[in-house]
Amino acid sequence: MRNKLSAIVCMLVLFSCIQMGSPVASTVASAESEITILSGVPTNLTAKPRNSQADLTWNPPVEEYPVITYKLYRSTNPAGPYTAVADVTDTGYRDFGLDNGITYYYKVTSVGLSGESAPSAAAAVVPMAPLNAPTGLTAISGDGQATIRWSPVEGAEAYDVKRSTENGKNYERVVSGVTGTEYTDSTVSNGTRYYYVVSASSPSTASANSASVQVVPAPGNGAPAIPQGVEAIAGDAQVGLTWQEANGAEYYTIKRGAFNSGQYETIASRIIGTHYQDVGLGNGTTYDYVITAMNAQGESYSSEPIAVTPADVVVVAKDGTGDFTTVQAAVDAAPNYSAKRHVIYIKNGVYREKLNVPSSKTNLSFVGESQEDTVLVYNDNANTLGPDGAPLGTSKSSSLFIYPTDFIAKNVTIQNDSGQGTGQAVAAYVRGDRAYFDHVRFLGYQDTLFTNNGRHYYNNCFIEGDVDFIFGQSTAVFDQCQIHSKRNGGMLTAASTPEDIPYGYVFLNSEITSDEGIQNVYFGRPWRPYAAVAFIDTKIDSSIAPYGWNNWSNQENEKTARYSEYNSRGPGANPKARAGWSKQLTSEEASQYTVQNVLKGNDNWNPLRIGIIPLSDVSAPVVTLDPLNTIVNSSTFTLSGRVDKQAAVTVNGQPIEMASDLTFRTTVILELGENIFAIQATDPASNMTGAVSLRVVYDNTAPVIMLNNPEGEKVDNSYNTTSNPYMVSGRLSETGTVWVNGKETKVSGDLTFATKVSLQQGKNTITVSAKDMAGNAAAPLTIYVVLKGNSTPNGPVQMTRAIATDAHTIEVTFNSKLNYFDATDFQLLAAMGSWESLNSDLTPNLTVNEVSTRVNKDGQTVAVVRIQEALNPDATFQREIVENPYRVPYQTEPYYSSDPVKNIKQADYLLSWQMENGAWFKNMREKYSRAWDGQEAKSDWYSSQHGYIGTIDNNATTNEILFLTVMYKETGDERYKDSVLRGFEYLLEAQYPSGGWPQAYPARGNYSDYVTFNDNAMIRVMNVLTMVSKKQYPYNSDVASDELIVRINEALGAGLNYILKSQIKVEGNLTAWCAQHDPVTYTPMGARSYEHPSISGSESVGVVKYLISLPNPSPEVKEAIGGALHWLDQVKLEGVKYVSGDPQGQYFYEDPSSTTWYRFYQIGTNLPIFSGRDGVIKHNILEIEQERRDGYRWAGEWPKKLLEVAHTTGYYENRVYIKVVGNKSSNSAGETLVIGQLTRVEAQ
């Protein structure tokens, strides 16, 4: 009764205040506590301003109040009167058609069975148009700082400066409220490339982010500025580079690396001028180039990378002057499933062909001779009868079908000329992912461009039509495009964006135009309910209807369609009149609509970093010089070289004679010092190379050797010493080469040198000679050194090596001669642990029969240890192989039991679940405990083209192969052997040509297709295949033929090659690996939205562990191991403990006994990466949502045991060690042993 009475009172009060125009809030003041609790008043009403719109949200009543609907009221006066705006069932509403600059006041009530509640407290909001973004950004580099400047924005009172190390995304605010147009950021690191954006603000509105400007802070040490304005031209196996002259530069260094790898090698140094031609490249491969500037004070940091893809161009010409006369013939001849770019150059002409580019033609490019005159056209429409006599329908009406990934089109027109009024007539049907269109015209009427699937980028394109002429479900960016309408009442777009895709069509800095007199055109209508379309900074003509959007005659679409607009301009810009179910974006929201953010997907695709491809069928001549930059000691120099085709060659502008074999040769007179020669070649078609510069220095002055004071007491002309080896050091007057007793000695950058010479008893002659870079010889210097007494090195006695000289003999060499040797100081140990466990289990189970000593020729004591057991030729010990089916290496699923009958049943169950391709799926323990019923899906992943998709993730497939191998060995059942062999075939077929293994095969079309180190997926496959190669239990049977083992060894070799090539290099230093890498470019890749490209502190452990286990490692493998171990040591957090899912919410604690590694490290900075499901990188775990903080393991101790083993035993399986356990032995200096020293016995 009381509740009903209170509700009635509230209704009367509300009615009275609305009618009277008095403040609603004041009417409830006398009984506010009871009315608020009992009347169902909505709470926390908030208002968010937009351009001519306001977003209102509120919370339901605090009590259990049955709400039927909410009523929203608006006024321009806080005292009222308030006018009803809307009745809604949700707790939010967007009000529209508002006047910018006016303050609006809102209140909300709830309506239940008892009537309408009292109103909420009022919320005020002022809609405003956004400010224009700042322009004219410049950046000046400083020592540990960067100064950003920009042009003022009309109406702005302050500016925010933001930065990121990734262009186009993850910007973090550096400073707010800057009142001027300049800011110096002093929180940056030298050598890191930063991207800055600036936004403007006033008390009532703001702008979106500006275009970015990049800068690399650098110390003021006199080194030159970073080269800017790098441009490139791609050709046949060549790349031409040009750049702006850098302040302070004397010459330049050109560096090249794999695309997006961040790893570069120097390909040319001491380049004079601002041109370089790189030749002999692999066609179809994308390279990244960076350029540094040099002078006497040092080298600049690198320029921003530029991606270039040289290619052998195939020519299509209707007149027969090319390789093909039709485009389709050129497409059909293109390689299938190519990882390399293939370019088809299409000469001007109208090519009336119905073109099909199948999915097998990956990395294919169309390049037209000109955008207007290279026309690909056909005239089918939806009503055209197909070969089967039925109408083609919309999809099959297209003039051009594009199915493959990574398709590029430039400078062409794609047209359907069926004509207006003939129905749907598609010009281009684009289904492949990562499609790129640059300066392409799409001509037609209804349904011109069908963006069927994948991500697309359209740059400077022209797209015309009349109805729905851009349609489909793709995520696509239209950057600086012209969208041209040809019919009254038409629709620009008909998006069918899936509900779970955040962006659909995004138009950036584009223009909407129309034929003369066209009116009442709509931005779009939703082909599917969740259509997403955004127009950002668009110039709009008068053809666009004020309402803007069409719901396709279905009001339900208004609840789901995601239509938005920001900062439109021109006659058709009318935010006040736009449909209320569309959204005027805020400046903050609009700033997220960058090319990089919209199209990044799971692979971080950035179409602004697409490799530059050849835009012509003719490449410039290639000039190859025989001598490169050099220093000589003669006044004349012969300059010679060759060109690759007929051309005229000049040297410093003077023509020189060409031989019939395209070589040239001329002699020039040099002046003392530096001489610069510029060589250029021009072919008959006027294609000219950039100037190839040659630097020749004429130097006829001999260098001078300056020795440091020799060590020891000088007696007559000799120096007496007890040091052996003996240090010889000094300095050279200029760059050159030094020899000490005929052995070349390294000269450091400061021209100093140092080396040690082994002395013999008595008098030793040491001669130091040198030559400079020009070949001028220095006067040699000779010193005499007399070795006195028994020499001993400084420091304790140490074992320098332990060698197995035969099966029963180990010789241990010490660093000096021992006066006293005690055999009990040493213990002979055998490693009994498995490598998989990282526990060496060193055990003294070898028998020592005799120990003797001798002195070698270097005066060092050698202990000769005779043992009873026989060692193998590689110095490992022989150990009985225990075949334990319960402990099979890398077997993690407990399939095996003590019941033979149960084991057979389990094996048969696995046979029934094996897919046609030979694989199994993951996390199937419950299903694999019974037979397949013939109906259930064998995998959660399915491809319409390939059927069920298998995986190696979470130990899948390898677990099943291992268990079935055990069962074949125990039962001899050929079915198990056949199943195992099918499993091996799957693993070998799944391997990429580059050597890596994906997580899933066949391809899923997402991050599962990357080469996967995550969860040790690839490494586990290689470990199991290694067991097969070595015929280790359970593969010590006939399960694998010799032919199969050969194939497995080839696969292991390719896998190792991939591991070495994918190791991440930062500033020339090897680090570790990402959780997944691109199979072609080796680039680190992301996976789920919170798993970014990074260096992994977790997955890298398995990779290093595998590399260390390799027998006879190559120098490259040793370098990879050393780089990874150094990096893991470098980034560890000593004294820090990580608590996963910490209920206290702190996660990281001080703990002197702990060492922790982050899971993901940012490449280049080694900062930790934490990320929520929004995909935004943070460096503090507390800045991401709790669900991800607690639902993911962000750190751990993964490398701890590996580093301990690497720094002590190294690879230990079946190895023998000598350990120091006492210190009674000593040398003549009284030095003794260091207890605990451990030395592994190696083969001789």
- Residues with active-site annotation: 468
Phi, psi angles (nearest 5°) of residue 905: -60, -45
| DSSP helix/strand/coil, 1187 | helix
Residue 669, strand partner residues: 636
Taking Cα atoms as reference points, which of 707, 718, 728 lies closest to residue 778? 707
Alpha helices, DSSP H, located in 884-935? 900-913
CB 1162 within 8 A of CB 1169: yes
Taking Cα atoms as reference points, which of 336, 904, 1029 lies closest to residue 895? 904
| DSSP helix/strand/coil, 449 | strand
Unique residue bearing structure tokens 């809307």: 86
Helix H or strand E encompassing 649: strand 648-651
Question: Quick one: how far is CA 775 from the chain centroid?
Answer: 46
User: Is residue 158 left, alpha or beta, with left meaning phi > 0 and alpha meaning psi from -120 to 50?
Assistant: beta
CB 456 within 8 A of CB 430: yes
- Residue-by-residue DSSP string for 8-74: HHHHHHHHHHHHHT--TGGGGGGGHHHHHHHS---EEEEEEEETTEEEEEEEPPSS---EEEEEEEE
SS3 labels along 228-242: CCCEEEECCCEEEEE
Report the C-alpha gap between 876 and 1213 in whole angstroms: 8
CB 575 within 8 A of CB 52: yes
CB 539 within 8 A of CB 513: no
CB 696 within 8 A of CB 629: yes
Report the C-alpha gap between 954 and 940 in whole angstroms: 14
CB 288 within 8 A of CB 1081: no
Phi, psi angles (nearest 5°) of residue 1116: -65, -40
Residue 802, strand partner residues: 812, 1241
Structure-block tokens of residue 497: 């964006």
Report the C-alpha gap between 1243 and 754 in whole angstroms: 32
Report which residue type is found at 484.
Answer: H
| DSSP helix/strand/coil, 84 | strand
- Residue-by-residue DSSP string for 1093-1134: S-EESSHHHHHHHHHHTSSS--HHHHHHHHHHHHHHHHH-EE
Taking Cα atoms as reference points, which of 1154, 1148, 1149, 1203 lies closest to residue 1170? 1148
Helix H or strand E encompassing 757: strand 752-757
CB 617 within 8 A of CB 365: no
Taking Cα atoms as reference points, which of 543, 533, 419 lies closest to residue 476? 533
Work out the number of other CB atoms within 10 angstroms of the CB of residue 278: 21
CB 1075 within 8 A of CB 1013: yes
Contacts of 674 (CB under 8 A, 6+ apart): 695, 696, 697
Residue 471, strand partner residues: 450, 494
Alpha helices, DSSP H, located in 230-278? none
